[in-house]
Amino acid sequence: MKKLALLLAFVCTSCEYLKEEADMVVVNANIYTVDSDFSKAEAFAVKNGKFIAVGTSEEIREIYTSDQIVDADGRTITPGLIDAHCHFYGLGLTQQVVDLVGSTSYAEVLERVQQFQNEQQKEFIIGRGWDQNDWEVKEFPTKKELDSIFPETPVALERVDGHAYLVNQAAFDKAGVKWDTEVVGGEIVKNEFGNTGVLIDNPMSLIDAVIPAPTLEAKVQALKDAERLCLNYGLTTVNDAGLNRSTIELIDSLQQNGELSIRVYAMISNTPENLEHYLYKGPVKTEKLNVRSVKVYGDGALGSRGAALKVPYSDQTGHYGAMVTPTDEIADLARRISISEFQMNTHAIGDSANAFVLRTYDNVLKGKEDRRWKIEHAQVIETSDFDYFKNGIIPSIQPTHATSDMYWAKDRLGKERVKGAYAYKTLLDKAGIVALGTDFPVEQVSPFLTFYAAVTRKDSDGYPDAGFQIKDVLSREEALKGMTIWAAYSNFEENEKGSIEIGKFADFTIFDKDLMKVEADEIPTIMADQTYVGGVVR
């Protein structure tokens, strides 16, 4: 018996030697691979940062051995989540300013600003996140109170959507803004006493010009803070919708030095300097950085009545909103980008802006294959314009916008026009895919809120019971694809990420609950237990 035991031990040891060595083996998991069949698996093996095998736990154990074997204990795993539209660098910068998100009144805004300044003693006070639609008095504030509290210190408080500022007179004086200053593509809001302190869209650049630029140390910290927040939610790739060359090069440097792990799909901001450099240079591609698109602003935002509409706002007579970038410039830019390798990703909220951008895309892309140009937001669309999405144009949409805006969207648009707004299922049916994001820090970072809004059309409080315009709800499978493989496809990256398949980056997320089966009202509470980028837990 002793000899037999020794022989069996020798045979088993020999079997281990015959197995292929992997850097990591994950077994006993509930895996949604998001491959072309949306198949399930139990296990996979990873080597050199990529998946080398996917199958059952028995199959993987039989072939592979590793010093790192992870027993998932039945937990759910999906491909690493992709946020298809966000402001990654901007999220980091907001950690360094007054947080005004969730303020329920202008008085609370003022209180938060005072408390911040008492602690920080800034020479120029910056804040972000107020939304008058969340206040009892749903009107733009004025600078009167800011002038009283901060008569000499400039203050600039950015609205939650990033399309309006509230500033004090000290900021106006520093920027040289007078009562008769005019800027095309937006508005310096006035009343009978002069400038109210609110600037919408393009005039904001006058204030931007005098806000102190962050130091290199502050920029690095912002990127690291943003990465920490994103990885904690299971995000492994973020699409930053508008970056300048200097920030892109800083991201690349930090990634190359191992100081930043998250993958970034960078849309370059539409400036002459960025265009001259990147359109001449061509796309930049590493394992963690992809620079091959231009972010263009079509119009403003609906919440600040800056979105360009075909007929006036229902709650403001004679007001149509405005194009931030003139239509002739958008057309010229589209022609210029169309002869490059770059993708054009245009912010379009109102039905007028969407109609113009869609027609422009359709015109310049005739005869050009597989360009994958995107409409960022695709928020309000007239019925006759939906068919443009059949021609390879990708809707890049943010489900939580629907559930944040539903309280006042009908006021802005009227009961008929609002039916063509936030029409995610209609867009999917026309385009064949949708890429899902959050637009953080406009909305919260959590991809679980994105998923929940997409599949229920409700806010985090479960309102409304029947869902907002429920005809445009997405299935759970569609929502997960929109946050993984379809988002990857929209970035020309479907062959390297977006699903758990052999040869792709081992980017994956382990969850504490099964997001495909858990009760709908539990989805917002899901947590990412672990996030892996290239097979390494981050």
The 10s digit of each residue's pLDDT in 215-230 is 999 999 999 999 999 9
Half-sphere exposure (Cβ direction) of 469: Cα atoms closer than 13 Å: 22
Strands 164-167 and 155-159: antiparallel
- The torsion defined by the Cα of 206, 208, 209 and 212, in degrees rounded to 10, comes to 150
Element of type H or E holding 115:
helix 106-120
Determine phi and psi for 344, rounding to 5 degrees: -110, 120
Instruction: Give bridge partners of residue 199 from the DSSP assignment.
Output: 165, 188
Provide, rounded to the nearest whole percent, the portion of the chain with pLDDT above 90: 88
Q: What pLDDT is attached to residue 6?
A: 36
- Packed helices 327-338 and 351-364: angle between N→C axes, nearest 10 degrees: 30
Structure tokens belonging to residue 523: 């989805």
Nearest to 334 by CA among 352, 357, 351: 357
CA pseudo-torsion sign 459, 462, 464, 467: positive
Q: Which of 112-121, 256-265, 267-276, 495-504 has the lowest mean pLDDT?
A: 112-121
Q: Which of 162-171, 227-236, 428-437, 450-459 has the lowest mean pLDDT?
A: 162-171
- How far from 334 is each of 2, 82, 262, 309, 364, CA to CA, in Å? 79, 26, 30, 21, 7
3-class DSSP assignment, residue 493: coil
Structure tokens belonging to residue 67: 């010093």
3-class DSSP assignment, residue 466: coil
Q: What pLDDT is attached to residue 17?
A: 60
Element of type H or E holding 14:
helix 2-18
pLDDT at 12 over 50: no
In this predicted model, which residue has the larger pLDDT, 376 or 161?
376
Element of type H or E holding 146:
helix 144-149
Q: What pLDDT is attached to residue 426?
A: 98
pLDDT at 24 over 70: yes
Determine phi and psi for 387, rounding to 5 degrees: -65, -20
pLDDT at 3 over 50: no
In this predicted model, which residue has the larger pLDDT, 396 or 187?
396
Q: Which ranges of 204-309 would DSSP assign to H, the alpha helix?
A: 204-208, 216-232, 245-256, 272-281
Nearest to 458 by CA among 413, 526, 522, 412: 522
Is residue 435 a contact partner of residue 374, using CB atoms and an 8 Å limit?
yes
pLDDT at 524 over 60: yes
Is residue 113 a contact partner of residue 124, using CB atoms and an 8 Å limit?
no
Strands 69-71 and 76-79: unpaired
What residues contact 357, with CB distance under 8 A and at least 6 apart?
298, 330, 346, 348, 375
CA 404 to chain centre: 15
DSSP one-letter string for 182-197? --SSEEEEEETTEEEE
| Reported pTM | 0.90
pLDDT at 15 over 70: no
Neighbours of 2 (CB within 10 A): 6
- The torsion defined by the Cα of 168, 171, 172 and 175, in degrees rounded to 10, comes to -170
Structure tokens belonging to residue 209: 């010009």
CA atoms of 189 and 377, how far apart (whole Å): 25
Using only C-alpha atoms, the chain has a radius of gyration, in whole angstroms, of 25
In tens, the pLDDT along 26-79 reads 999 999 999 999 999 999 999 999 999 999 999 999 999 999 999 999 999 999
pLDDT at 5 over 70: no
Q: What pLDDT is attached to residue 182?
A: 85
What residues contact 230, with CB distance under 8 A and at least 6 apart?
83, 88, 91, 238, 262, 445
Mean pLDDT of the chain: 94
CA atoms of 443 and 449, how far apart (whole Å): 9
